[in-house]
């Protein structure tokens, strides 16, 4: 059994985007609160982490590095950062490779590189006109230290001649095309803004009489803040000593919230569309049973952890017992060390270990939330058969993934996706399963109690909500010679 090094990643689906957080709180330990908020958002990005903080009216201090939140920050780091306001970021690269220069928050200092103001910025999403904006800024004399589209946003705001950061956002925001849930700080305020389609999540919370913003509500839970609601698509939110100001900058032409956030990306204890995702994912499992029962099955197991809620829902609707047939090692992070020939035959056992006493002799329904390339799923099926499973029926609580995302998620190309130009029956043969079924797109919307007209489901349907998406530049566009002007590396 061959082992793809990507399969050693603790999460098997599309690579997550990023997580952002921002707070203005002179009466709170803002760097410490930001650390724990990022800790709660770690699932959204595991390549790098960073915090920028400032005393009200002082200079911005930024610390960022490759690694997990608890690897990047220690107690003395948080004490050194201090501050009255802060922004934080966890990253998986979507535009630009995994290098220190591309970690966030992006820090632009006043008086250099064309900057008129100092700021730090954290961004979740992906610009589809990054190359165009980058070229314009370079021609205007603005320099760059990275190859991420997030620095393009930061540079546009830092170099704008307006008197305030709010004025800069009002001018720059209509020029940005794509997905951008963004938090930016100067030395006296935190400003958050969201693309007019609202593709990626961004929510507003309150801590005492202070305000904060985050990618997901689970970041508020860990610090004791209360969820107020969404930062609306096209809206700018400003948080400072004057309190909270909100303003719609660009009218929303069509809400296009990413439906895959419900299925996979967001934490199950986060709330979206007025519902906790654990409950929505359970309903996906129930609907999946209704649409695709597995006659003769006698046990439901999940591919942990992301398949757990849907597996419980499937078992509940089917009236079947559920058990843990696969035990996951939750302490293995992504490793770039090749396992070597001796360990290669053990396949995914660095991460999953089947229990013969549970699955032996059983006809299994195995529930997972998605299949991308199929490498991991194929190896899991073989492990279960080796452990004595009589039958393996795969049930997936997402429709077939057939299209890449250009809005802040790093997916495989169409040709790499196992569902590309294949029927479920053909995929089942490749995976070695007795049967395979996916939930329908209609079933997903029923489960999340949402309207197709207000969501983006392009990774399933190919219907991209933004014009020009198909010709958007790829993840490494700023590194592959697409940009005619050279980048200045830090």
- Which spans in 140-216 are helix H? 149-159, 165-172
Residue 99 has what pLDDT? 72
pLDDT digit string (tens) for 260-277?
999 999 999 999 988 999
Q: Is 410 annotated as a binding residue?
A: no
Catalytic residue list: 18
CA distances, 367 to each of 248, 294, 310 (Å): 42, 12, 7
- Which among 328, 398, 320 has a CA at the least distance from the CA of 365? 320
SS3 sequence of 28-69: CCHHHHHHHHHHHCHHHCCCEEEEEEECCCCCEEEEEEECCH
| 101-114 burial: b if 16+ Cβ within 10 Å, else e | bbbbbbbbeeeebb
- Does residue 369 have a pLDDT over 50? yes
Residue 487 has what pLDDT? 33
Over its C-alpha atoms, the chain yields an Rg (Å, rounded) of 23
- Does residue 77 have a pLDDT over 60? yes
Cβ neighbours for 359, distance < 8 A, ≥ 6 positions apart: 299, 301, 325, 384, 387, 388, 389
Residue 219 has what pLDDT? 98
| Mean pLDDT taken over the chain | 90
- Does residue 79 have a pLDDT over 90? yes
Q: Is 149 annotated as a binding residue?
A: no
Q: What number is the average pLDDT over the span 247-271?
A: 95
- Which among 147, 107, 122, 120 has a CA at the least distance from the CA of 45? 122
Q: Is 212 annotated as a binding residue?
A: no
Q: What number is the average pLDDT over the span 20-30?
A: 97
Residue 101 has what pLDDT? 79
- Does residue 11 have a pLDDT over 80? no
Strand order in the sheet with 48-54: 60-66, 48-54, 85-91, 18-24, 210-214, 203-207, 226-230
Residue 100 has what pLDDT? 76
- Does residue 58 have a pLDDT over 70? yes
Q: Is 369 annotated as a binding residue?
A: yes
Residue 102 has what pLDDT? 81
For residue 483, name the pLDDT band (cuts at 50, 70, 90): very low
Residue 411 has what pLDDT? 76
- Does residue 471 have a pLDDT over 70? no
Residue 472 has what pLDDT? 58
Q: What percent of the chain has pLDDT over 90?
A: 80
């Amino acid at each position: 059994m061959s082992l793809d090094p990507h399969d050693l990643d603790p999460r098997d689906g599309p690579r997550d985007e990023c997580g952002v957080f921002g707070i203005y709180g002179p009466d709170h330990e803002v760097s410490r609160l930001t650390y724990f908020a990022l800790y709660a958002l770690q699932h959204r990005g595991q390549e790098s982490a960073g915090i920028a903080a400032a005393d009200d009216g002082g200079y911005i201090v930024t610390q960022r590095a490759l690694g997990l939140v608890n690897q990047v920050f220690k107690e003395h780091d948080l004490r050194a950062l201090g501050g009255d306001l802060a922004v934080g970021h966890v990253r998986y690269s979507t535009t630009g490779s995994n290098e220190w220069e591309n970690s966030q928050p992006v820090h632009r200092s006043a008086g250099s590189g064309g900057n008129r103001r100092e700021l730090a910025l954290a961004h979740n999403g992906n610009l589809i006109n990054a190359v165009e904006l980058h070229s314009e800024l370079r021609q205007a004399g603005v320099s760059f230290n990275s190859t991420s589209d997030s620095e393009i946003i930061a540079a546009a705001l830092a170099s704008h001649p307006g008197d305030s950061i709010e004025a800069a956002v009002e001018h720059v925001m209509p020029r940005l095309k794509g997905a951008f849930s963004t938090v930016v700080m100067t030395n006296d305020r935190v400003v958050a803004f969201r693309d007019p389609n609202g593709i990626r999540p961004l929510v507003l919370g309150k801590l005492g009489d202070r305000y904060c913003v985050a990618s997901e509500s689970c970041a508020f839970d860990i610090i004791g803040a209360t969820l107020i609601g969404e930062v609306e698509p096209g809206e700018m939110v400003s948080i400072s000593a004057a309190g909270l100001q909100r303003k719609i900058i660009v009218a929303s032409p069509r809400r296009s919230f990413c439906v895959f956030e419900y299925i996979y990306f967001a934490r199950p204890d986060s709330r979206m569309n007025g519902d906790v995702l654990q409950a929505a994912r359970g309903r996906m499992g129930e609907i999946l049973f209704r649409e695709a029962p597995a006659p003769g099955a006698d046990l439901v197991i999940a591919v942990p952890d992301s398949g757990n809620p849907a597996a419980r829902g499937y078992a509940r609707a089917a009236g079947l017992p559920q058990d843990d047939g696969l035990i996951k090692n939750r302490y293995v992070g992504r490793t770039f060390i090749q396992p070597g020939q001796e360990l290669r035959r053990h396949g995914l056992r660095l991460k999953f270990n089947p229990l013969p006493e549970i699955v032996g002799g059983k006809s299994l329904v195995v529930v997972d939330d998605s299949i991308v390339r199929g490498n991991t799923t194929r190896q899991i099926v073989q492990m279960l058969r080796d452990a004595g499973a009589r039958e393996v029926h795969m049930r997936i609580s997402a429709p077939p993934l057939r299209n890449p995302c250009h809005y802040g998620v790093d997916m495989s190309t169409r040709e790499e996706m196992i569902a590309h130009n294949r029927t479920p029956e053909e995929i089942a043969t490749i995976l070695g399963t007795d049967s395979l079924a996916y939930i329908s797109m209609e079933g997903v919307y029923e489960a999340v109690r949402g309207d197709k007209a207000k969501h983006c489901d392009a990774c399933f349907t190919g219907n991209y909500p933004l014009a020009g998406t198909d010709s958007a530049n790829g993840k490494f566009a700023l590194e592959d010679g697409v940009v005619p002007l050279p980048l200045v590396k830090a």
